[in-house]
Structure formats: C-alpha cells, structure tokens
Amino acid sequence: MNYIAVKSYESLSKQAALLIAAQILNKPNSVLGFATGSSPIGTYEELVSMYKQGILDFSKVTTYNLDEYVGSDENDKNGYRYFMNEHLFSKVNVDMDATHVPNGVCEDPTHEGKRYEDMIVGAGGVDIQLLGIGLNGHIGFNEPDTHFPDTTHLVDLTESTIKANARFYANEAEVPRKAITMGVGTIMRARKVILLATKGKEEIIQRSMYGPISPDVPASILQLHPDVTVIEVI
Ligand code: F6R
C-alpha cells in the first residue's frame, strides 16, 4: 500500500488529480474508474483546471463509474450520472459516449449489472479506480456482508447508508433503497486504486488497512491489492 498523508482536502484533491493526470498522460486512452460523493469533488475540480490549462486531454479516455441508484436517470439531481455530468464530464473534452454509469432506469437491474461488467471487461479493464469509503467500510455500494461480491450487481442499501444519504433528500422516505454497483472483484481487478479518506474517516481507514481482511469491512480487501494508494487527511 502506498500512503500519502495530507493536511487538507485541497491537498488530497491535488494529489489524487496528479495520479489520474499521470495515468492519462502515460496512456491517453486510459480506462478511468470514477466515484461520486463528497470525497472526489475537489479531485474533479483539479482535473478540470488541468484540462483548462491545456495539460490534460480527455478525448481518448473511457470512464466507468462505480454505481448508480435504481430509479435515477440523468435528470435526477441526486443521481450519479447527473453528478458526473455536472462535476466533470460537461467541463472537459471527454466523448460522452465513452462515459459509463450503470443505468438506474433499466428494465432489469440484474441484467444491467452483467451488461456493465461485460463492457468493463470488453474495454480491457479499469486502469485506475478512484474510491471514497463509507463509515462502515463500504466501497462502491458494497456494504458489510458475509462475502465479497465479485461482479457488478444489484444491492439493497443498508440503514446506515440510507441515513447518510438522507441529507440530500427532503426526507428519508425519498432516499433510494437499491443501487447497482461494481462488485468488490470489479474494483480489485482495476490495475491501480486510489482511496480518498477525508476528515472523519480515520477510524475506518485504520480498520480497513491494518485490521483483519473480512467482508465485514469491504475495503479491507484492498490490503491484497498490488497497487493501492490511500490519500488521507490527518
Ligand atoms: C460513491 C460511492 C460511495 C462513496 C462513499 C463515501 O460513488 O460509491 O462508496 O464513495 O459512500 O462517500 P463520501 O465521499 O460522500 O463520504
């Protein structure tokens, strides 16, 4: 594990953006794995800024996002496709057809999981995957479980995740109950992983990186990943 300790969210964002920028500069047609949530917003701002300065070209990249709520389409302001369009895709020269988020309004979410996984494999796999982490150790929407789910699949969100997400909705009843997420296996097959740990994540990072490897703490499996960089605000 590579570990970068930083003093601020701005530094975390800059460090993460530099790693992604290096990936794109080394391989312009990289397959980038993206996350949503509050942790990566600053990283996307840095990437947009590097694009505007002429340092980065997104025209050849392909992107795959970790997850999407069942029921969310591109117009849902709390949906993850909307988030990515808003924070990154509409601000850089990425080919929109090369950006992928699981389809939250598909007919059959189980089939959508398989379709999404097959597309990632067909693209040659993810070169670099950006991750946030939930307070319960979830990565993507892989919640604490009795096993590590392998491929992209349909999940029921846990009460703690529903409560954490409620801040974005008028009331808790409106928070989606289901999502489609890359599996832990999908994440582990990415060639590089960057894990963002913002303030307040110290305890779960400690448990994930130094505790027992167990599906109770999904992020703990990253201890077995050959190229993971944890960037933590301390
Ligand atoms: C987002 C995702 C989630 C978040 C995690 C942390 O696509 O898959 O696992 O990364 O819930 O969220 P924040 O960054 O809001 O603390």
**Angstrom distance (rounded) from CA 179 to CA 109:** 9
pTM: 0.97
Q: Which atom of ligand 1 is nearest to the CA of 80?
A: 7
> Strand order of the sheet with strand 99-100?
2-6, 228-233, 192-197, 128-131, 31-34, 62-65, 99-100
Is 142 among the residues known to form the active site? no
Instruction: List per-block mean pLDDT (blocks of 10 residues) for the chain, which spans 234 residues.
Output: 97 98 98 98 98 98 98 96 98 98 97 98 98 96 96 93 87 93 98 98 98 98 98 97
Distance 23 CA to ligand 1 centre (A): 22
Predicted pLDDT at 3: 97
Is 67 designated active site?
yes
Specify the ligand 1 atom closest to the Cα of 34: 7
Contact present, 217 and 138 (Cβ < 8 Å): no
